[in-house]
Amino acid sequence: MIKQRTVKTAVSAAGIGLHSGSKVTVNFRPAPADTGLVYTRTDLDPQVVIKCTPEAVRDTQLCTALVNLDGVRISTVEHLTAALSALGIDNLYIDVNAPELPVMDGSAQPFIYLFESTGIQDLAAPKTYLRVARKVRVEDGEKWAELNPSDGGFQLDLTIDFNHPAMERDLQHLVFNFTGRGFAAEISRARTFCFMRDVEYMHAHNLALGGSLENAVVLDDYRVVNPDGLRYPNEFVKHKMLDAIGDLYMSGRSILGAFKAYKTGHKLNNMLLRAFLSDAKNYELISFADDPAKVRSETFEFIDARIAEPA
């Protein structure tokens, strides 16, 4: 049986909030099966709980936020979500003492490291996957994103299109067969990126006060400003891939299917996930509770390749 997962023990992380520039602490606690990813704003009285669902997602100028019906928000959740997807963690309590998670280094790698160090445990319930049953496509002008049925696990094919001297054309397309281990090794360290002119605008408007070369790749009109340069030659498309993986996990369920997109972003990825889940004919809920032999080998490879070994 392929089981649901949570963390082995409670663990905390602290860092800078992207919006506020202040120190933020987040505490992760084990959660029982079928809980999902549940956030709590511990700085509010009374505390406010927001479950991570595709409907709670709002794309903002800086990041992805979860917002409840009263307008209470928790920002900068997207890179954590990508890490949880790679680790196969379906259930987790996430307590944060601010309106945002710490931005860490702008990638998913610090969260991967944290949870791998803490340990991960299997729960008694089977893990449920969303298998794509028919094509779903969304468009926004020239941008588009789609999910298609596939025989294997979860494949991603993503193209960005920037006309910038620091972004070579052949480094703007990426195909990735998702595995947890592959994500950790090839994708997780890709940092968010932005342009100097945007940074100047945001700082002038008191936005992104925590943004710096410590947690983003910054480009001027000609080159990468960060003194140490890039972590991967194609770090930009890799980060967009990381974002898409996080965005498509906002239901807390892993997808088995083929994702393909052109110039997509958080907003379009969320539109795709909502469209996908809006009609039960688009997917099949499957778990591998009884007969793993029924699962095609590629799928099984994907499932087995979740990073951390369970307790």
Binding to Zn ion, residues 185-204 (CB under 5 A): 192
Ramachandran region of residue 36, left (φ > 0), alpha (ψ -120 to 50) or beta?
left
CB of 77 to Zn ion, least distance (A): 10
What does the per-residue mask of binding to Zn ion show for 216-255, with x meaning CB under 5 A? ---------------------------x------------
What does the per-residue mask of binding to Zn ion show for 58-87, with x meaning CB under 5 A? ------------------------------
CB of 183 to Zn ion, least distance (A): 14
Of the pair 155, 192, the CB lying nearest Zn ion is at 192
CB of 243 to Zn ion, least distance (A): 4
Distance CA 115, CA 66 (A): 22
Of the pair 91, 264, the CB lying nearest Zn ion is at 264
Q: Is 203 a catalytic residue?
A: no
CB of 239 to Zn ion, least distance (A): 6
CB of 47 to Zn ion, least distance (A): 27
270 binds Zn ion (CB under 5 A): no
Of the pair 100, 243, the CB lying nearest Zn ion is at 243
Report residue 168 as tokens: 């070579």
Distance CA 307, CA 87 (A): 5
Binding to Zn ion, residues 135-194 (CB under 5 A): 192
* Binding-site size, Zn ion (CB under 5 A): 2
Of the pair 90, 243, the CB lying nearest Zn ion is at 243
Q: Are 17 and 73 in contact (CB under 8 A)?
A: no
Of the pair 6, 192, the CB lying nearest Zn ion is at 192
| Positions that interact with Zn ion (CB under 5 A) | 192, 243
Active site residues: 266
